[in-house]
Structure 1
Amino acid sequence: MTPGILPDSALRAMIARGEILAPVPVGEAQIQPASLDLRLGDVAYRVRASFLAGKATRVADKLDDFGMHRMDLKGGAVLEKGCVYLVPLMESLALPEDVSAVANAKSSTGRLDLLTRVIIDGGTEFDHVPAGYTGPLYAEICPRSFSVLVRPGMRLNQIRFRRGDAVLSDAELSALNAREPLVSGEALIDDGLGFSVDLNPAAGDLVGYRAKPHTGVIDLEKIGHYRARDFWEELRTREGRIILDPGAFYILVSREAVTIPPDYAAEMAPYIAMVGEFRVHYAGFFDPGFGHGTAGGAGSRGVLEVRCHEAPFVLEHGQVVGRLLYERMAARPDRLYGAGIASNYQGQGLKLAKNFRTE
């Protein structure tokens, strides 16, 4: 069978065969061009610390050691900033021996600084599900900047299924870029497609946002509800640089506009650890069709979720901060990103999560 990321049609077939299971049937709205949205279950567990199950160990057994208290989500519950929670997901898996999976936070989840990762029974890595896995899925959720109100069925992360290894080499990526330009401007191809930060906007001086430290609770169901200024500080400069504060969370934007052709998917990854004391990327899936066919064919820019670590760090305009790893699809999806599936970030520039409104 063709290696690559499994498209939406294959996900529907997996559901029909019982390889993706849930007590509440999986809805069509959960199926994206190259991934499946995962839903929170009815309960959450406040835990003392983040953990992995480890080989031959169930997550439920770890809860006996690290669980603090159980929370019912059915009426809505607040996950508090700085705390760690474990939520059993509605979906479970019975994967074929040749299909593995990788999970990641959804775009709006990452833009809220919600560290959300999938763990599994016997798992030794976050967000990775080995081929042939049969068992439950859990979301570990740690709100970093804002406390949030959640309910069962909310979709904070997503999962991709793949058969084999179809990541493009630099030579293959260069050939693809020659056929269909993947990025505005010159393509920096070195272990993926590099992208840089825009700190010198063409219009105005707004270059990003920094999360405020003391805010109210965000109800994740409310779209366009919260005033951005109540939760975010605007970052403005005409100098082409900003200084990142340790522990602070930033929303910035890439200088380049990127395109994901219909037969490919991509994942955002850190560039290299040696470039600075910060991390870029919490939500990293780019679906087939992202930036493809946008106005003028210019692509869409990538929003960067940035957290500074131990020391203040000067970030300069045009500094390379991440890379996109392109991967072949096993088949073209029935629908592409932005094509009538309520994609919130097609054609985006600098943009906060969908819960906020700017005034």
Structure 2
Amino acid sequence: MVLSDRTIFSMLEKGTLKISPMEWDQVQPASVDIRLGNTFSIVEDSPTGIITLDKEIRYKTIESDTYVLLPNQFVLATTMEYFELPNDLTAFVEGRSSLGRMGLFIQNAGWVDPGFKGEITLELYNVNRCAIELKAGRRVGQLVFSRMDAMALKPYNGKYQGQKGATGSKAFLDEEV
């Protein structure tokens, strides 16, 4: 069940859902707007030109209130907000259609597990022929919350728990299958 603005407001007031910093007008009828933070990371060039899943990837990270995303460029960014989800609530990250119509894709894995705490890393990609200027504080997407039918037996406590800033891939930490 997708949560309504009424339920979101109630959870924020009770402290069962935490979002900081947040303005009340970020709450929409069935979502909460997320704003762009000021941390951006790009993958550093590899001597071989190949990224492998079993080795740590190096990133160049900058803090800036403005970032110019070039055509066909990929960058990690972060939300301004820090989230704390209870163990019976999950969320979906969605881009804003007005930005998608400009060629800005928010390629987030799209899922926030119950129990997650941290800023959300966003994967931004510019499919336009023109550069896109990104500014910290700009609303770039929304979180749609859904209540689970029961508390999670194993709430999220993974490698991205508590993350702040544009956090690079930690796929190299995954166990072999």
TM superposition score normalised by structure 1? 0.43
Q: Which residue of 2 aligns with 1:159?
A: none
Write the deviation string for residues 100-125 of structure 1: whole angstroms up to 9, x where unpaired: xxxxxxxxxxxxxxxxxxxxxxxxxx
User: 2:41 touches 2:61 (CA, 8 Å); kept in 1?
Assistant: yes
| Alpha-carbon distance in 1 for matches of 2:159, 2:61 | 23
Larger Rg: 1
Distance 1:172 1:245, change over 3 A: same
Distance 1:251 1:171, change over 3 A: same
Q: Which residue of 2 aligns with 1:226?
A: 56
Alignment RMSD (CA, Å): 2.3
| Alpha-carbon distance in 2 for matches of 1:269, 1:279 | 10
User: Could you tell me how far 1:337 is from its partner in structure 2?
Assistant: 0.8
Q: Which residue of 1 aligns with 2:91?
A: 266
| Alpha-carbon distance in 1 for matches of 2:97, 2:148 | 26
User: Could you tell me how far 1:183 is from its partner in structure 2?
Assistant: 0.5
| Alpha-carbon distance in 2 for matches of 1:283, 1:252 | 13
Distance 1:217 1:185, change over 3 A: same
- SS state at 1:197 partner: strand
- SS state at 1:174 partner: helix
User: Could you tell me how far 1:328 is from its partner in structure 2?
Assistant: 0.8
User: Could you tell me how far 1:171 is from its partner in structure 2?
Assistant: 1.9
User: Could you tell me how far 1:174 is from its partner in structure 2?
Assistant: 1.6
Write the deviation string for residues 308-355 of structure 1: whole angstroms up to 9, x where unpaired: 1212111011111111110010111112111xxxx1100011311014
Write the deviation string for residues 227-282 of structure 1: whole angstroms up to 9, x where unpaired: 50xxx4x25354x1011111111011111101211121111111233474311133
| Alpha-carbon distance in 2 for matches of 1:261, 1:319 | 26
Distance 1:227 1:262, change over 3 A: closer
User: Could you tell me how far 1:218 is from its partner in structure 2?
Assistant: 3.0
What is the one-letter code of the residue matched to 1:272?
S
* Gaps in structure 1 of 5+ consecutive residues: 1-165, 200-206, 292-299
Give the alignment partner of residue 216 of structure 1, picking from 39, 49, 68: 49
- SS state at 1:178 partner: helix
Q: Which residue of 2 aligns with 1:323?
A: 142
* Gaps in structure 2 of 5+ consecutive residues: none
TM superposition score normalised by structure 2? 0.82
Q: Which residue of 1 aligns with 2:9?
A: 174
Q: Which residue of 1 aligns with 2:108?
A: 282
Give the alignment partner of residue 66 of structure 2, picking from 218, 241, 252: 241
Q: Which residue of 1 aligns with 2:31?
A: 192
User: 1:268 touches 1:281 (CA, 8 Å); kept in 2?
Assistant: no
| Alpha-carbon distance in 1 for matches of 2:57, 2:148 | 39
- SS state at 1:183 partner: strand
Hey, which bits of structure 1, 4+ residues long, moved more than 6 A?
A: none
Give the alignment partner of residue 302 of structure 1, picking from 120, 137, 140: 120
Distance 1:281 1:174, change over 3 A: farther
| Alpha-carbon distance in 1 for matches of 2:40, 2:67 | 10
